[in-house]
Every structure is written in structure tokens, then in C-alpha cells.
Amino acid sequence: MRFSFSRLASSCKARLHQTLRDRTRPEIAFVLWPAPLSSPSPSTPFASRPPLPSAIPGSISVVKGIHRKVSNEFIQELKDILQDNMTLDYEERCFHGKLLNSYHRAVNVPDVIVFPRSQDDVQKFVIECNKYTVPIVPYGGATSIEGQTLAPHGGVCIDMSLMKKIKSLNVDDLDIVVERGIGWIELNEYLKPYGLFFPLDPVFRYGTMRENVINLQAVLANGEVVKTGSRARKSAAEYDLAHLLIGSEGTLVLRKFSYCMIQGQPDFDLVLALNAFWDTEAYAQEQMLIVQKIVSEHNGSDFVYVEDAEAKEELWKIRKRALWACYAMAPNNYEAITTDVCVPLSRLAECISKSKQELDASPLLCMVIAHAGDGNFHTVIIFDPDQEEQCQEAERLNHFMIHTALSMEGTCTGEHGVATGKMKYLEKELGTGALRTMKRIKSVLDPNDIMNPGKLIPPHICI
Ligand SMILES: Cc1cc2nc3c(=O)[nH]c(=O)nc-3n(C[C@H](O)[C@H](O)[C@H](O)COP(=O)(O)OP(=O)(O)OC[C@H]3O[C@@H](n4cnc5c(N)ncnc54)[C@H](O)[C@@H]3O)c2cc1C
């Protein structure tokens, strides 16, 4: 059967929307605090939002890039490798070149989209791009929000969505080896009958993706395949390559497989509207009462806790859909900046309350969505992209929170990453020494700068 791109395009879009819903990961605790609203707030569901505007005026800038036309020879060689699993369709290129949940835009879109089906395709594809020095933009679920999957320099977007194989499930060792295209929810559906799950939620208990991926297999920019280690949980045999590569935002390698830790379903968990997981019922009840007392002492409202499986599912859904709930409070064309600063735990309350004060004083619609367990919290700042003063105010609030977090020895991003959106804060957070080291690593692994160029490392950093 011939492969149909229009079918693939619509299934990709459906998959992406599904992924967006699936990958909205719940965290430990959440509180939604709307600040005063000066703008009108008709309630419009996310599904009916029109396509995002192609450019945002004013202070919220469009990511610049230098576009070099890809040659016909290159396209022909890609076709020889990928046959029908690629497209030059303009609509598809625009779809992959925009972000669905973020205001960041790029001046260019990718020139080609490829959908590899095999490990072999991936490797040959990278060799080809390196030969012609064509930028590669890796594309997974496309839920990142700081510009990670934009293609400011054009090039090829490699959509991994057809690579979802489970290579091995090792129940006795509690690990699983999966291709990069599999989604978190899909993986958990697969694991459910075994009484197992791939965690991340809640992060304070299980750790982030970095802690849950033991090792990985990846293709370097020159086409060489590397494995960062074994399935053993611990190893003192190497540099910690896995953790260097996870979270490198596609700037160092193209990941093929991940060796992930999995867990048994907890014996008992209790979900609070301030959410948490505990091992025993008695401990859970005790903690819940303590939290309830604290909430009421501080004039908290709507404290909810549930034990029933269905009710827990419902409560998680509220958290998962928080971003769309925020969008629904504003007119259709409004955009959101979703912040994710993270500070040492002892400074969290102070950081949230300083941020909240600033947000409350702002004319913009702002919400705080907190994770109480790991020092990370989100705010959603809603603004009208067509009004310059609103763009500036949204940017100002974002700057304020980031600088507040940095002054508390925190980070500009606990989860969402850097890409193009947070690049400007890295020098202050990390210093030039760390950035130069990152640049050195990048230039050794990717001397032609083809791996997701223009992301993560500020362009002015020299080796
Ligand atoms: C509503 C909402 C809620 C969110 N909640 C959370 C949250 O709770 N916690 C959290 O951590 N994040 C959260 N995020 C951010 C985002 O979902 C995560 O960063 C997520 O890990 C991105 O995964 P993805 O598969 O969608 O990757 P993508 O967006 O497709 O890509 C992310 C980065 O990985 C690179 N990449 C993709 N595939 C490969 C590959 N095969 N090899 C190398 N690089 C590759 C891309 O180039 C890009 O730089 C949220 C986002 C939204 C919109």
C-alpha cells in the first residue's frame, strides 16, 4: 500500500493534539490563583481557538535565522533513503514549523519533513544531512514550549512519531527499552496489564526524565551510533553521557532508543487538589490532615481530597488541563507565557509570594500553578499579542520571576528547557565558563552545527 501524506498529516495532527493532552504531566501539588482581570474574559474552549497568528509584534520577538536553500541533489538522496516517508508539502512544513502551545515563532519553517520508520533510516538520514550540512530539527511529541522544535534556519524536521517500538520489557529488572517516538501515556497503557508504570508523576518522588532514563542509544552528527551504557542501574565505568544527552534539546545527538526505569503501581495513593502520593493509608491520612490544616490557616479555599480511582482520575484531569482552562478565560487570539522557575525548597514560598504580588498588581490575567514538592512552580500569563503594551507587560513579568529565582540561587527553567526562549538568561545563571564548556562539547560532537542549530547555547559564546 502506498503511503499517503495527507493521511499521515491528519493522523500526525490528531496525534499531536492527543499528545498535548497526554503529555500535560500532572505534578505534586497545584493551586490555581487567578489574578485580577482587566481584559474581557469570554469563555472559549481551546478546541475552538483559531490558528495562531504568524508573527507577534513588539517586544516578544520572532526567532531569526539564516536560511540556505537545500539542493535538489540532497532531496533526491533523502528520497532514496526514505522513499515516501518524507514530504515537501508547504502546509505540513508550516505545521511542523510552529508551536501549538507557545508564542515563540521563527522566521523560517523546515524545508522538508521526514518520518523515519527504522533505525537504519535514522542513521542514513543523519549521514546525509551532515554531508550537505543541512540543519536537523528533531521532533517528538512537539509539546515543548520554549521554541525547541522551531526551524529558524530551515533544514529538515525529523518527526519520530512512526518509531514507537518496544524493544524489550524486562519485568524482573523493572526496565523497558523503547524507541523515541512512543508517548508517555501510550507507554503507560502498554505497562498497565503488568501492574507497572513509567513514572515522572509525581516528580518529587520519582524524579524527572533524566533520573528515569538509565541509558540511551543515539546517532551522532557524523552518523556514528553510540550507546551510553548498559541496562545496569548504576555504573562507574564512563562519563555520564546519558545525562548529558537527555535534555540536550536535540543539539547534540539524535536519540533512537531509551532504556527506562519502570515501577510497580503504588499500593496506596491519595490525590488532593493539593496532590500527593504516599505508601500507606495511615500516613496519607495524617499528611492530608496536616495539609488541610495549613490550607485553612492560610485562608485557602476549595481543599479537595479523593481516594476513589475515578475521582482521582478526574482530579488529575483538572491539573492536566490547567493550561487550556487558562486559555479559556481569555479571548481566542490571546497567547500565554508559561513560566517554570525553580528555586531551592527553602525559598519556594518567598519566590511564589513575590511573584504573586507582582502578578496580582499586573493588569494581565495571570495564574499560579504550583508544584510544592520540588521547588518548581508554574505561572501562566495571558496576553493579547496584538497589543504592544500587553506583550511588554507579559515579558516584564516573565523577567521579574526569572530574576527573582536567579537571585535565590534558582534556575530560569525547572522543566521546560531553554531552546530560544530562555537563552538570554543562561549567562547570568550559569556564567560564561559553563556555557563555553557546553559550546566545546557541542563543537566536538557536532562540528558542522547541524543538530538543532540556534538553540540552547547563546550565539555570542565562543570556545
Ligand atoms: C500543557 C503543557 C504542560 C507541560 N507540563 C510539563 C511538565 O509537567 N513537566 C515537564 O517536564 N514538561 C512539561 N511540559 C513541557 C514539555 O511537554 C516537555 O518538555 C516534554 O518533555 C517535551 O516532550 P516532547 O516529546 O513533546 O518533545 P518535543 O517538543 O518534540 O521535543 C523536545 C526537544 O527534544 C528534541 N527531540 C525530540 N526528539 C528527539 C530525538 N529523537 N533525539 C534528540 N532530540 C530529540 C527536540 O528537538 C526538542 O529540542 C509541558 C508542556 C505543555 C504544553
| Dist. CA 140–CA 281, nearest whole Å | 38
Residues in the chain: 463
Q: Are 328 and 46 in contact (CB under 8 A)?
A: yes
Tell me, in angstroms, the distance from the centre of ligand 1 to residue 143's CA. 5
Nearest ligand 1 atom to alpha carbon 137: 47
| Confidence band for 279, pLDDT divided at 50, 70 and 90 | low
- How do the domains of the chain map onto residue ranges? 5-24+53-162, 166-264, 271-407
Question: Does residue 446's CB lie within 6 angstroms of at least one atom of ligand 1?
Answer: no
Please indicate, yes or no, whether the overall pTM of this predicted structure exceeds 0.75: yes
| Confidence band for 316, pLDDT divided at 50, 70 and 90 | confident
| Confidence band for 296, pLDDT divided at 50, 70 and 90 | confident
Give buried/exposed letters for 164-199 (b at 16+ CB in 10 A, else e): eeeeebeeeeebbbbbbbbbbbbbbebbeeeebbbb
Other CB atoms within 10 Å distance of the CB of residue 225: 15
CATH number, domain 5-24+53-162: 3.30.43.10
Tell me, in angstroms, the distance from the centre of ligand 1 to residue 249's CA. 8
Order the strands of the 225-227 sheet from edge to edge. Answer: 166-170, 175-179, 253-261, 213-220, 225-227
Amino acid letter, residue 139: Y
Residue nearest to atom 8 of ligand 1 (CA): 25
Q: Which CATH number fits domain 271-407: 3.30.70.60, 2.40.10.220, 3.90.228.20, 1.20.1440.130?
A: 3.30.70.60
Beta-strand ranges (E) seen in 92-173 are 105-106, 112-114, 136-139, 156-159, 166-170
Q: Tell me which of 32, 144, 275 to substitute to probe ligand 1's pocket, judged by most ligand atoms within 8 Å of the beta carbon.
A: 144
pLDDT tens digits for range 16-42 = 344 443 333 322 233 444 433 333 333
Angle, alpha carbons 377-381-385 (nearest 5°): 150
pLDDT tens digits for range 145-192 = 999 999 999 999 999 999 999 999 999 999 999 999 999 889 999 999
- Determine the average pLDDT of the residues in 306-329: 84
Cα 390 to Cα 57, 144, 194, 272: the distances in Å are 11, 23, 50, 35
Which residues lie across from 365 on neighbouring strands?
382
| Confidence band for 308, pLDDT divided at 50, 70 and 90 | confident
| Dist. CA 462–CA 245, nearest whole Å | 21
Q: Is residue 198 over pLDDT 50?
A: yes
More confident residue, 64 or 206: 64
Reference 272, options 18, 30, 19, 25; nearest CA is: 30
- Residue for cell digits 537563552? 423
Topology annotation, domain 166-264: 3.30.465
pLDDT tens digits for range 414-457 = 999 999 999 999 999 999 999 999 999 999 999 999 999 999 99
| Confidence band for 49, pLDDT divided at 50, 70 and 90 | very low
CA 172 to chain centre: 30
Q: Which three cell numbers stand for residue 170?
A: 524486562
Tell me, in angstroms, the distance from the centre of ligand 1 to residue 103's CA. 16
Reference 197, options 266, 99, 115; nearest CA is: 266
Nearest ligand 1 atom to alpha carbon 141: 26
